[in-house]
Structure 1
């Protein structure tokens, strides 16, 4: 990959197979750049000009820089929001299945996944494991098998002649991946996880695994493709592309303006959790930044949120699925997402601000409105706007195959998004 931005995005995605790993990757990069980690259970000593981060549930992160003395009260916050989770196959609590001499794991579908692309892929397994260590204390660590350990094979067409006429996939019976031959009546997943813990973490020898949150993922690395390298293909582009762009913008900014990056879990299932956008995480952090209620309202009203989540590019084989005047194209810049029923939080003022920002940054910009006879998806923008009262614009990089195991973006759009978000972080004036 010749483009350093795409290579960095590819490395970020490859290191982030689950929301836990995405948060750990974000945290590690921020710490390496000089940010200070905070603990929600401790008192915070914040200083003007300081740069800080805090995580919740190991799967959501907020990072912020305060700018010069008094800048927060006078200029408000430049907020960038994204989410760390993607649709996938999650392992059930008692998943072991021994069928036809093969060992499988039962899975639950997380989010609105396109299931057909999961068949015949080389899958690995990653997530968070909670255990009792050798001293009897409870602890949690992340694991990642990295290598292919499972597959969901298709049924041969000879046994399913009508498959190309339409296939109804049963998530309970059709999706359990195969991991191995059964040995003497089966294997023990918790014993397997204990072994993996010990191999990845030297201090976890002898751990007794109590529970876990594990996801299967595609082991194929991201790739730039096309005759002229016009496209970028990867798993979890929705929404790690936006997490990476927000992180890059924050790190590339001049540090003069108060900025905050919030990357939360559980967007794909509604955001209603302690660490989701519909939970109190962001509000809790803002209360600690600005303890006075009246002053906090004033700061929020001087602030602006750019909610970054991928947008639907117009597909050449399915152009009729778009409004004829609102078909965003790959490599044509970020998309402003608009819905008058408030599935997106964009209004005329925030859209105008973002259009002007793109113009001043020499970044092309597009607009998306769903067809009037189709339902509209949503994202963290309306949720955050309604909880905080902050002005919001919903935007995103155009993509194909959203919610597939492998999605497709334009190879120039990640750079466009980083450029305009960096300009946003450096903006002295908001609307």
Structure 2
């Protein structure tokens, strides 16, 4: 084997494949529910998990996670579920004719969904009770021109989306999923969802004898040159020109073998695929784990777990006759896209989607245009719960805290590989644990003393546990869509979440019981918040 410099290996990881003496080479929307069944995997599948737990919501969440490889699939599955529950689909382009007691929803960009149920006792001026979450997660996405050829291997150029732990994407069985725009036989263009369930891609690491210092110096991949998935082993012929000159096509931008795989899955001709928007996805199913099956191991827990619990709570809180008979407010779920990249998009929380919908709802129920005064009164009486899975993985590095860390190891959930605790705070009252959910963030973003009280009072009346979290003064803390929505028009907001380990990894961890309690808390919020809020005296 010819000599290869360490610099060459680090900056051109694909070049060594062809020089090794042995082969290292790998390789209209359907919203019907599909179960995963990988016989070669030892992880418990969603259906098996459902049977092994007394928490039905957990099994349903696993099914939802296994359906929802992308924000598009998550929204499509949410759409399927609310339609099955009797919610009526609205178009943002049409006039809305809404009635008290009605249940409605609309989608935007196939990746954002807003659903709401109108109380039968609603009168104009009453508020909205909203739970907001997001459908996107950190991932890799195909670049607009993904085709790449290195050392006789077909590879895909990808871009990072959000703040992911990108080293966790190496050496995983990956595939693609997302949205495709297809030319129909009548000349129109339709959106279709696609998901290639079999392992299709791999981002390989170097063997230890080719990078001997990785365990001491750390794994520090270059995200442009190293994070390049392998697709196939042989170069292809140059792609032919599109059959129709002057029309758009994705053939030249992507490997023909990838386009053929997509066309086979969609049942269309390659030339009919005019554009693709695909995520790289881990093929390992979501499952229960731990000695007592007390954890959920899955990708995209942030924030699909909150999205599903919120949607399910809304559906179940108004699914039976009479559930809305005593409600004076409007119950709403808002699931946004693009939270992981700042929310400033057409389908993100930075757009006025939710507030425009609120104004339209109030106007329709008033049977006339709702003036500014009426809408302002509605917002003053509204309440938003921004539910986000929270990561409390704070690395302790100060030698002076060594003794304190030993005490923490006796008290807290510890990730022993990195000496990371569920949360590291000086005050015991601020410790956060898995399996004790509904963490109220007391950081100075969207939460106030009033909104945290209202949130915790709902839990107290239903004997549900809560805990509080404040970030250390010497550490940074990420924000959420809570402040964006709170500052949009001035709606009362509480920022809260579920404790999580490995947040933004390709595989995340949360407590199984946390999901059940979060769902109960959401449902209790919809069912009892009106009565609690009326007791709060404001000067």
Deviation at 1:198, TM superposition (A): 4.6
TM-score, normalised relative to structure 2 = 0.76
Compute the displacement of 1:200 (Å): 4.3
Q: Is 397-406 or 322-331 further displaced after alignment?
A: 322-331
Higher deviation after alignment, 279-288 or 102-111: 279-288
Alignment of 1:309 onto 2:388: yes
User: What does residue 151 of structure 1 align with?
Assistant: 202
Q: Indicate the RMSD between aligned Cα atoms, in angstroms.
A: 1.8
Give the counterpart of 1:328 among 429, 432, 443.
Answer: 432
In the alignment, what sits opposite 1:50? Answer: 102
Partners of 1:141 and 1:417 in 2: CA distance: 33
Partner of 1:263: 335
**Residues 321 and 371 in structure 1, CA contact (< 8 A), matched pair in contact too:** no
Q: Residue deviations 1:344-384, cap 9 Å, x none?
A: x1100111111111111111111111110111111110000
Q: CA deviation at 1:185?
A: 4.7
Residue in 2 that maps onto 1:160: 211
In structure 2, the residue matched to 1:380 is: 481
Quote how far apart the aligned CAs of 1:411 are.
Answer: 1.0
Please list, as runs of the form range in 1=range in 2, the aligned pairs for 1:66-215 lying within 5 A after superposition: 66-71=118-123, 73-74=125-126, 76-165=127-216, 166-185=218-237, 189=254, 191-192=256-257, 195-196=260-261, 198-202=263-267, 204-205=268-269, 208-215=272-279
Listed as ranges, the matches of 1:398-417 within 5 Å are: 398-417=499-518
For the 8 Å contact 1:249–1:422, the answer to whether it is kept is yes
CA positional deviation for 1:420: 0.6
Kept in 2, the 8 Å contact 1:133–1:206? The answer is no
Give the structure 1 partner of residue 525 of structure 2: 424
Which residue of 325, 344, 348 maps to 1:276?
348
The alpha carbon displacement at 1:43 in A equals: 1.4
Q: Deviations over 1:102-132 (max 9, x none)?
A: 1110000000010111011111100111232
> What is the distance in 1 between the residues matched to 2:205 and 2:262?
31
- Of stretches 290-299 and 57-66 in structure 1, the one that deviates more from structure 2 is 290-299
8 Å contact from structure 1 (residues 55, 62) kept in 2: yes
Residues 196 and 101 from structure 1, CA distance in 2 versus in 1: closer, same or farther, beyond 3 angstroms?
A: closer
Task: Please say if residues 134 and 206 of structure 1, whose CA atoms lie closer than 8 Å, have aligned partners that are also in contact.
Answer: no
Which residue is equivalent to 2:360? 288
Query: What is the CA–CA distance in structure 2 between the aligned matches of 1:116 and 1:88, rounded to whole Å?
Result: 12
Output the CA distance in 2 between the equivalents of 1:381 and 1:60.
Answer: 16
The separation in 2 between residues aligned to 1:320 and 1:9, in whole angstroms, is 23
The structure 2 residue matched to 1:63, chosen from 110, 115, 119, is 115
Q: CA deviation at 1:207?
A: 5.1
Greater displacement, 292-301 / 364-373: 292-301
Distance 2:185 2:337 in 1: 31
How many angstroms apart in 1 are the aligned matches of 2:520 and 2:123?
23
Q: Look up the match of 2:367.
A: none
Contact 1:98 1:182 in 2 (8 A): no
Following the alignment from structure 1 to structure 2, what is the Cα–Cα distance between the partners of residues 248 and 16? Answer: 15
Shift of residue 72, structure 1, vs aligned partner: 5.8
Length-normalised TM-score, structure 1: 0.94
* Contact 2:174/2:200, CA 8 A, preserved across alignment: yes
Structure number with greater Rg is: 2
Aligned to 1:17: 69
Q: C-alpha deviations, 1:234-269, integer Å up to 9, x for none?
A: 000000000011011101114423200000000000
Structure ranking higher in strand proportion: 1
* CA distance, structure 1, for counterparts of residue 289 and residue 207 of structure 2: 30
Match of 2:282 among 218, 222, 231: 218
Shift of 1:305: 0.4
Equivalent residue number for residue 35 of structure 2: none
Q: C-alpha separation between the residues in 2 aligned to 1:190 and 1:163?
A: 32
| CA displacement at 1:177 relative to structure 2 | 0.6
How many residues are matched?
A: 426
